[in-house]
Amino acid sequence: MSTAPVVRRCFALFLHTEERPRLDFGALLSGGPALRFDLCWLALAPHLDAPVELDAALVEAIGRIGASQWVARTDVEAEVGSERLQRLLECGLVFEQEIATPARVRDEGLRHAQWHPLLATAHAFSRWGGVDSLAAQDASQIRSTADLIATGGLPPPHHHTRTDALSRMSLERAPARLLDTLMQRRTTCRNFDRSPALSATDLAVVLHRAFGEQARETIEPGAVALKKNHPSGGGLHPLEAYLLVRRVESLCAGLYHYNVEAHALDRLPLPADFDEDGFSRTMVAGQHYFADAAVLLVVAVRFPRSFWKYRRHPKIYRAILLEAGHASQNLYLAATDLGLGAYVTAAINEVEIEQAFGLDPLFEGPVAVCGFGPRAGTRMTVELDPAGRVWDASGRLKQQE
């Protein structure tokens, strides 16, 4: 016995207006403004790879179709019209229950992953693919601080003082300890030495300090709490480390996953026609000085690990990004302690990283790339070192104290 088809809208959907400029030659010839702006509607749905352009009729129609319950197709057609419904089905914003299209399967996975819909949309549509950030900077003709000031004026003051403060109490400056010395040497490295290989021991130390398991405790059968060297929302530790190894002793160059439980590197298959140099630059969106690191490490997130506890929670994504920051700082300090350079960048091409490592961004997605390795002896690319702990006045690398 067949049943009547039923439909419903996708789980997460936000409508965004965009103004598109066009030349109006008629207005120009009559003395009016030559540039006109056409308003269009874009549907942002994280289960789809790109925004979907809608006309006003489809915007009105999509607003009449619910995302929770399956409703008879005939009833929806009576409400919005059969032609409009068919167009929404074809573009993957509405689904028929009995037809497992790729868009519908992905939407089901998104529902079960317990994303907050606004955060899922922001995460999906803030990802880069094929971006060269340095080329974009050159195209903007803003290449220096002087250019920034000329374009946008001076930045906000480097110090902030509250004028409504009731009083001020001076604080003691304690004598420097070992941690202070280490933190003073911590700077972002843009000058890596491409000739020596990183030792396998140093790689293991950095990974264990930044991402490794330090201890564990069983809370309930099947529920284990890990002790790592950084805080994590709910103690869930959803971060994963994926590596592009370029120059490490006794280790083949290639793609790896850091297996925390075994404290080991699992080698991953390489994509067809894999180009190590090209991929390293793509990872960091054209920042060639970062691509030269001996190891490029992708900080990825297993979102269902956090969403198991914080289901569709509006704050958990912030907690995850905070955790990624904590882990990257530990990586900086671990590398600095070994006399290595390190960096972290959010200017990354997530799409190509996902493809290379086999990640689905709504279930295990990259949020940053860190790199580390031996520093170059001479500073060729500008680095910020206000304390003068890394470079001397001539741009030569200082000996570690």
pLDDT bucket at 257, cuts 50 / 70 / 90: very high
Encode pLDDT of 272-327 as tens digits.
999 999 999 999 999 999 999 999 999 999 999 999 999 999 999 999 999 999 99
Global model pTM greater than 0.85: yes
Closest CA to 372 of 282, 297, 266, 301: 297
Give the mean pLDDT of 111-129: 95
Taking the CA of residue 198 as centre, how many other CA atoms within 13 Å lie in the half-sphere pointing to its CB?
32
- Give the mean model confidence (pLDDT) for residues 184-213: 96
In terms of C-beta density within 10 A (0-12 exposed, 13-18 middle, 19 or more buried), how is residue 138 classed? exposed
Contact between 303 and 362 (Cβ < 8 Å): yes
| Mean pLDDT along residues 97-110 | 95
pLDDT for 89: 97
Mean pLDDT on 350-363: 97
Do the bridges between strand 264-267 and strand 254-259 make them parallel or antiparallel, or are there none, so unpaired? Answer: antiparallel
For residues 59-66, give the mean pLDDT.
96
Closest CA to 381 of 128, 134, 132: 134
- If we measure between CA atoms, which residue out of 70, 69, 93 comes closest to residue 10? 93
Over residues 183-198, the mean pLDDT reads 95
Domain boundaries, the chain: 6-112, 133-141+178-373
Give the side-chain half-sphere CA count within 13 A for 330: 19
Report the CATH architecture of 133-141+178-373: 3-Layer(aba) Sandwich (3.40)
What pLDDT does residue 33 have? 77
- pLDDT of 2 above 60: no
Residue 34 confidence (pLDDT) above 80:
no
User: Is 22 a residue whose pLDDT tops 90?
Assistant: no
pLDDT at 1: 46
Buried-exposed string 101-119: b where 16+ CB fall within 10 A, e elsewhere: eebbebbeebbebbbbbeb
> Helices (H), strands (E): how many in the chain?
15, 14
Handedness of CA 337, 341, 345, 348 (dihedral sign): negative
Cα dihedral 311, 317, 319, 323 sign: positive
Look at residue 247 in the predicted model and tell me its pLDDT.
98
Give residue 171's pLDDT: 93
Q: Which pLDDT score is estimated for 288? A: 96
Span 218-243, average pLDDT: 95
| Average pLDDT for 357-376 | 97
Residue 29's pLDDT is what? 74
